[in-house]
Structure 1
């Protein structure tokens, strides 16, 4: 189970818990995975600098082992008053059903990336990963000067080549099976959606960095297959969604435990950026929307009140239920049991 990446990260097993932003990655989950020999990761893309600082402190109270923090690299976007007005007119019908205010005032679309980075630097985080692009050279250099391992996310070989050239230490190869937001940053219009099995070996042949396989990996079978393809580790998200330490909403967990592999889809309707989740009534309705969906992070801010109200009402049909195509294999095992079971199963397969 030892690979170049486990040595670099100083972890026992080549298993990374995916940094699922929006609540699932609690300090309890992150610490449990790290204590079990994997690498827990905080999905901090939506957190304020103060929340990041607090979370880092809480994680460190629960584990002395390495862990990571993930941030979203900001992309340029165009704000269209007409697009926003048309979208709000459409979203107001959902607000009416949920009994919340129409046309809510939005003061900001996203947290300050610079302030988030400063919180990570101040926190002395062992690992920092990025999604949606490549941070500036000064950010990468500042992290490395603090001894932080820097990891990028790629959905194509070309994106991986760009990440290596930028100075990343490792690359997550995110296959199309993966739940949550797509990390694509070069193919914005017509994303190719390359599967993990096809993506990983092609990426390994073209870059010299350790590659982390992600997408559809739920247990030791996926770990063994990924190692056979040449990956240095796997990143598992959906596998941990329904575990006791996960901060996912109870109805979200229940949907994960009952959903089948054909019941997920990639959609931009919740956030303005392509993401894979369990199909909901909101997704079905909004897929018929005739106008232009505002880009991320505008659409994400516009739908936030609807998602939050749906969560309070225990109504999964208007929540974003991010999950991958391996969802049928999700269990209620504890995080530590998931790590142990994955390792034992992989070892059995590889020995056989």
Structure 2
């Protein structure tokens, strides 16, 4: 099969199309013939040599795919060869075939293409586990997502607004802010022009944000603490501006804040399986009803993976980037 080889770490140009044997599904796994694979920030960081795969995981890039079942491993029930599927992989998605634990597979939602379905797993698992499981966002609460026009951001806006929260977002242009508001954000703040802390304080009559999802880090960490409401929950999932910060902990104590974070890929299989079942029960009906839909910024052929990574690194996109096979 064809796959994207990463012979060394570095710039996008280090990636190249190569050939390897088709993997065989192990016990509790399915083999997926890949039609499309999502491109995500962790792929960029892995390519740079800063995010090694966990022990036992495929070193091939790619954390989410959609396609059809090609073969079943031992003990797999409920799926048949030919079934359309999307899945959170443990690596290996940038390839024509990938073996995936069956518990991390989900049916392709009604009405979505395989390219759209490939844009679901990584962002849906990440948003659900962090915003709804870890931070326990409730209907009526105020939710802020930084990077609102990203794949994570566009997903978080749609889920939170559909599940009853008041949603705010930050983004880096007026065009991106308009896209966030079209997806359900009450207000999107262009961080290049306005202070999101003051804007959201005014919009919420001084209440602030109950839950903040941050992938920026840097000086946003302290400003998130300033903005958070009493008993607020701040969840960090990435640090594009740096992970090391100085922080005054007094407001954390006074406002009884929770500062937390997580990474998805190293989570044990049973945790990923539980997230998948929650998504199928609570989110997949919203997708089937047309209330939530992945926002596709661009698609690239597998052999154009360098251009796909270049676009991801430019941040000039709104939504998800997908490779098609």
TM-score scaled to structure 1, two decimals? 0.30
**Larger strand proportion of the pair:** 2
**Larger helix proportion of the pair:** 1
